[in-house]
Structure 1
Amino acid sequence: MSLFALLALGSASALAQETRYISDTQYIPVRSGAGNDYRIIHRGLPSGTRLTVIETSDDGDWAHITTGDGTEGWLRAQYLMSEVPAATQLEQVRSSSEQLRQRNSELETQLSELQVERSELSTEMGDTGAELAEVSEELAQLKQISGKAVQLDTDNRRLTEEAESLRAEVGTLNAENQRLQDKLQSGQFIDGALAVLLGVIITLVVPRLWPKRRRSSSWA
C-alpha cells in the first residue's frame, strides 16, 4: 500500500471517529385532531414550551394539550417529557448565571461606594470629634463664666441691699442733722434776742442806777 493511500485511510478514520450531537431544539406541530390527517393549527411549539395535557388518545400516541397563550390542539405524545429539556435548563442556568454576574457586579459597585462613604464618614467623625472637643471646652469655659456671673449677681444683690440700707441711714442722718440745725438756729435766735434785750435793759436801767453829778455853779 502506498504512502498516499495510508494517509488517506488515516484521514477517513479520523473523520469517522468525530463526535456529533443532535440539537435539542425541536418544533412540534399542533394539529386539530389526533392524527397526521388533521390540519396543522400551529407550525410548531419550541422545545421547553410549558403546556397542560387535557387527555390522550386511546392508543396513547397523541395528547390533547393547551398552552399558556391559549393554543389548544393535538400533538405526538412521544415529544412530551415530564422534566424541562436539558437545553432549556442550560439556558435557564446561563440566564441565572448572567443575572448573578450582573448582581455581583452591582454588589461590588455598591461595596466600593460604601467603602468610599465609610472613609468619608470616618473623616467626618474625626472632624466631628475635634469639634466636639472644642465645644466641650467652650462649654466648660461658659460654666466657669456662668458660675462667676452667678457669684457676681449675688454680690451685686448684696451690695445693692447694703447701698439701700446706707441710703436709708443717710436719709435718717440728714433728717437728724436738719433737726439739729433747726434747733441750733432757734437757740442762736433766742440767744441773740436775749442779748439784744439785755443790751436794751443795760442801756435803759444802768444809767439810772448811777447818781447824777451836780453841775458846778458858775457862782461858786
Structure 2
Amino acid sequence: MQKLRLICLSLFALSVSATAVADETRYVSDDLTTWLRSGPGDNYRLVGTLSAGEAVTLLQTNENTNYGQVRDKDGRTAWIPLKELNTDPSMRTRVPALEAQVKTLTDKLNNIDATWNQRTADMQKKVAASDGIINGLKSENQKLKNELTVAQKKVNMANLQLDDKQRTIIMQWFMYGGGVAGIGLLLGLILPHIIPGRRRKDRWMN
C-alpha cells in the first residue's frame, strides 16, 4: 500500500512539473532516428521512432526531465528529449528548398541570358541596318558630288562657249558696222564723180 502511494505521488509530481506550452512546430534533429517514449523520462517505455527532420507539434514540456510531449503528422502523441528538437527546419527539409531556390534562380538566369542574347542580336541587326543606311547615304552623297562636279564643268564649258559666241557676235557687229561705214564713205567719194549735174550746180551756186 505504501509503495502504491509512492508511485502515485511520483506521478503527481511529474504531472505538476510538466509545463503546458502553446502548440509550436519543432523539428527532429538530423540524427537517423529518434526514440519516442510513453512518458517524460528515460525510464518510460519506447513507443516508436521519428525520422530525422520530421516536423512535430510541441504540446508541453517537463522541466525536470527536459522532455517534451509532441504530436507527429500521423496524430501520435509521445515524449521526446528536448535536445533532439530544433526550432529551425532540418537539413533534410532545407536542402530540397534550397535546391528549389537554386533551380528557380538558375531558370531566371537562363531566361535573363536568353533575353539578353535576343536583345544583343536585335541591337546587332539594328546596327547592321544603320551601317547599311549610312553606307547608302555616303554612296548617294558621293554620287551627288560627282554629278555636281560634272554639272559645274558643263556650266564652265557653256560659259566659255557663250563668251566665244559673244565675242564672235561683237566682232561680226564691228565688221558689219565697219563695212557699212566704209561703203558709205566710198559712196560719198564716188557719187560726186558719177553725178556731173550736181557738180555744175554746185559750181554755179558758188
**Range into which the TM-score falls when normalised by the shorter chain:** 0.3 to 0.5
Rg larger in structure: 1
RCO higher in 1 or 2 (8 Å CA, sep ≥ 6)? 2
TM-score by length of 1: 0.42
TM-score (norm 2): 0.44
Structure with bigger strand share is 2
